[in-house]
């Protein structure tokens, strides 16, 4: 039985490419389609979570918003992997760095995604699962960044359920474990990919450094995001 469209994605199955780039913001998905893709069409407008499918240098690619937080990205990536038979999803987002090794506008490739979320509880595993990126995608992203002259740093990131944390000092505890940056989606993406036997990667433009009180302007954020998009498109 055909399970598409789904309750959250209005596209027919053949309207979604095998590779999906996923920013959190649906308007960012629209920007990517308009500025990087050829012959694109809007394939989803359900809940205004826009998705577009087009071509980049002859490769068919879908770019789709995933929302904020693991519950949201968990729904969209599950449906894409299981119902649309997508092969790989690359999350492209922004993050705050926790490391002195990472500067504003750097691109971080999330090799692993530590988390304070209970997302993995659904699998009833007899231990703790380590959500990790697909190695080939991660290696290609780092090599592409180096080739393009874009500073790229690879390592462990934190996927947190909390944007406003009642215990702000918790971030400093993650610093001790070598965490490069904090965001809110990658761990769920990596777990969904692992369970489905698919590929996933999270790439992040560093927009702020909360422990150093540094942040990019709106214009600087856009430039940094464009650098990351170049890497993601070449990696896809």
CA 13/CA 130 separation, integer angstroms? 31
CA 122/CA 80 separation, integer angstroms? 19
Residue 44: how many other CB atoms lie within 10 Å? 25
Catalytic position from the list 25, 116, 161, 208: 208
25 is catalytic: no
DSSP 8-state symbol, 96: E
* CB-based burial label for 234 (10 Å; 0-12, 13-18, 19+): middle
CB under 8 Å to 75, separation ≥6 — which residues?
8
Active site (catalytic) residues:
208
């Amino acid at each position: 039985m055909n399970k598409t469209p789904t309750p959250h994605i209005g596209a027919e199955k053949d309207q979604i490419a095998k590779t999906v780039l996923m920013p959190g913001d649906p308007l960012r998905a629209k920007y990517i389609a308009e500025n990087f893709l050829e012959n694109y069409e809007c394939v989803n407008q359900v809940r205004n979570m826009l998705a577009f499918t087009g071509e980049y240098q002859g490769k068919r690619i879908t770019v789709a918003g995933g929302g904020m937080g693991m519950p949201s990205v968990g729904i969209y990536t599950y449906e894409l992997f299981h119902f649309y038979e997508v092969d790989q999803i690359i999350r492209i987002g922004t993050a705050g760095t926790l490391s002195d090794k990472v500067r504003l506008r750097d691109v971080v490739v999330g090799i692993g995604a530590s988390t304070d979320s209970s997302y993995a509880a659904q699998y009833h595993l007899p231990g703790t699962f380590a959500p990790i990126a697909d190695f080939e995608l991660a290696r290609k992203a780092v090599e592409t960044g180096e080739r393009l002259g874009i500073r790229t740093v690879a390592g462990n990131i934190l996927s947190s359920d909390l944007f406003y944390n009642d215990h702000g000092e918790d971030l400093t505890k993650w610093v001790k474990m070598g965490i490069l940056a904090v965001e809110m989606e990658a761990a769920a993406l990596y777990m969904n990919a692992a369970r489905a036997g698919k590929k996933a990667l999270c790439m992040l433009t560093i927009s702020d450094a909360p422990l150093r009180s540094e942040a990019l302007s709106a214009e600087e954020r856009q430039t940094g995001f464009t650098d990351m998009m170049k890497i993601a498109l070449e990696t896809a």
